[in-house]
């Protein structure tokens, strides 16, 4: 068991102001696998003060020097990838091979991406008689979720540090152990004291103290739409910048000329990755009414390949959900789908056979789902796919845009230009064409109640920068 009894503030591991701790539960065994401090408002005060004091020096550090630190952090992450993969497989439940590749691999790549980007990013340009410069926004409060814990941390922390901001991080209290590994790596890299600070704790205490703090210039939050609204309310009192990456109810539109086998397999994969605990999961599959029976049969066969079991066992494609609360919530949605009259094609609310320990849910597919029903409108955050039929392309687009969200989606067609035309009509921040892979250099974020702002690539760097115009006197 990993016991972490100190916070990382101002370049030092220091005892928290309070004396309470938070247990971290292994998602597949239901046993305590670690313990972290339950931070207080006083800990936030200390961390923000350290970040504020470090800002002037870090913000004026040349970009090449900042890049060198980021490269060192990348190397540190690379050296501990196996350890991080196993740790997050325990915390979150993703099968360990996938966790090492995604949950550890992505953060490693992100730090390298921002280190390289600093070599070419234009922090200033001439516009008429003005020199327009980009300067760091200031002290950033980064509040991150549990589903891709270190990926989300890195998307914020690497970009903010690259921009010249200083950071106070509050990771999810449900999966916080990986953040301590990053803090160790950052410390070993010699990052200046106060540039990065780590405070663990609960959202209503630590998160809210960060969001309303007058010396925090920006809050970057990833989590539920409900919590994002609360962050916005608190931040409004000091008119700080807020970037939000929130929920989703993404639709994959399968057009009538698509390769159905590839489209269904790709959509199910995009729905069930990380046991459905993905904000951009394609949880609604929109199919032509005339092709429903054919596509439903394919879906039933594809789901049979999604075995559920121990994330460390080597055979399972799906591990458990993160917690008993989440498991019960997802099973409640499955029961709701049955009650509302959807056709249960695979799975169901009962526990998977033979798994008496761990927060497991059967991968579930519903057919002929009413687009206005609960399971078609609300984010479930579990391995639950809703198949919805449409009569024509206009209706497909209307259904795709019919939820409060707009994070992601997909379009499948043998005619790529046709798929792109449909994709442009979908109100979402990211739309995959025929299963196009995730791209760390492209902007990630949503429309409407999926949030505002963008992460990753140069677009993510720009989130942490302010414009300043220096009006120069014309020569001559």
Task: Tell me the catalytic residues.
Answer: 245, 279
Residue 354: burial class (beta carbons within 10 Å; 0-12, 13-18, 19+): exposed
Sign of CA dihedral 11, 13, 18, 23: positive
Of 151, 203, 142, 205, the residue nearest 173 (C-alpha): 203
Cα–Cα–Cα angle for 314, 35, 229, nearest 5°? 90
Q: By C-alpha distance, which of 172, 226, 182, 203 is closest to 78?
A: 182
| Helix/strand/coil for 350 | coil
- Tokens, residue 466: 């302010």
In this structure, the chain runs to a length of 476
Whether residue 441 contacts residue 455, with contact meaning beta carbons closer than 8 Å, is answered with: no
**Rounded distance, CA 130 to CA 15, Å?**
49
User: In the chain, how many H helices and how many E strands?
Assistant: 16, 21
The Cα 22–Cα 139 span in angstroms is: 26
DSSP 8-class letter at 240: -
* Contact by Cβ (8 Å): 285, 315: no
Between CA 461 and CA 103 the distance in angstroms is 21
Separation in Å, CA 108 to CA 117, 168, 195? 15, 20, 19
User: Reduced to 3 states, what is the DSSP secondary structure of residue 139?
Assistant: strand
* φ and ψ at residue 307, rounded to 5 degrees: -70, 145
CA angle, residues 92, 242, 452, in degrees to nearest 5 = 75
Q: Are 200 and 181 in contact (CB under 8 A)?
A: no
**CA diameter of the chain:** 84
Output the DSSP codes for 244-309: EE----EEEEE-TTS-HHHHHHHHHHHHHGGGG--TT-EEEEEEEGGGHHHHHHHHHHHHHT--B-
């Amino acid at each position: 068991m990993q016991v972490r009894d100190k916070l990382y503030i101002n370049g030092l591991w220091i005892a928290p102001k309070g004396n309470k701790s938070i247990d971290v539960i292994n998602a597949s065994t239901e046993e305590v696998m670690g313990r972290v401090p339950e931070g207080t408002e006083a800990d936030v005060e200390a961390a923000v003060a350290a970040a504020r004091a470090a800002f002037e020096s870090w913000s004026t550090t040349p970009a090449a020097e900042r890049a060198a630190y980021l490269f060192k952090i990348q190397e540190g992450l690379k050296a501990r990838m196996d350890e991080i993969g196993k740790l997050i497989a325990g915390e979150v439940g993703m099968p360990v091979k996938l966790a090492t590749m995604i949950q550890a691999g992505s953060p490693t790549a992100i730090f390298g991406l921002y280190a390289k980007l600093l070599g070419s990013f234009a922090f200033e340009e001439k516009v008429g008689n003005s020199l327009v410069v980009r300067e760091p926004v200031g002290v950033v409060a980064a509040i991150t979720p549990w589903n891709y814990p270190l990926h989300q941390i890195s998307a914020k922390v690497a970009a903010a540090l690259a921009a010249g901001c200083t950071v106070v991080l509050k990771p999810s209290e449900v999966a916080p152990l990986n953040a301590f590994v990053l803090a160790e790596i950052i410390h070993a890299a010699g990052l200046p004291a106060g540039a990065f600070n780590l405070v663990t704790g609960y959202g209503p205490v630590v998160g809210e103290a960060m969001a309303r703090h007058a010396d925090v210039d920006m809050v970057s939050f990833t989590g539920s739409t409900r919590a994002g609204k609360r962050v916005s309310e608190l931040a409004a009192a000091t008119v700080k910048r807020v970037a939000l990456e929130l929920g989703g109810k993404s639709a994959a539109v399968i057009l009538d000329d698509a390769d159905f086998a590839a489209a269904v397999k790709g959509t199910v994969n995009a729905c069930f990755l990380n046991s459905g605990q993905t904000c951009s999961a394609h949880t609604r599959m929109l199919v032509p009414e005339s092709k429903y029976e054919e596509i439903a049969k394919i879906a039933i066969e594809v789901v049979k390949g999604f075995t559920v079991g121990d994330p460390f066992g080597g055979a399972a494609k799906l591990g458990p959900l993160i917690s008993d609360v989440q498991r019960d919530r997802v099973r409640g949605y499955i029961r709701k789908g049955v009650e509302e009259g959807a056709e249960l094609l695979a799975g169901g609310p009962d526990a998977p056979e033979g798994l008496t320990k761990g927060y497991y849910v059967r991968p579930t597919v519903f057919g002929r789902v009413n687009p206005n029903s609960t399971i078609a409108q609300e984010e479930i955050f579990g391995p639950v796919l809703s198949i919805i039929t449409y009569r024509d392309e206009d209706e497909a687009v209307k259904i795709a845009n019919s939820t409060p969200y707009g994070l992601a989606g997909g379009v499948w067609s043998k005619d790529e230009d046709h798929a792109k035309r449909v994709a442009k009509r979908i109100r979402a921040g990211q739309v995959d064409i025929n299963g196009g892979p995730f791209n760390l250099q492209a902007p990630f974020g949503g429309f409407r109640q999926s949030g505002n702002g963008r992460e990753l690539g140069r677009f993510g760097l720009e989130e942490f920068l302010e414009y300043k115009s220096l009006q120069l006197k014309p020569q001559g």
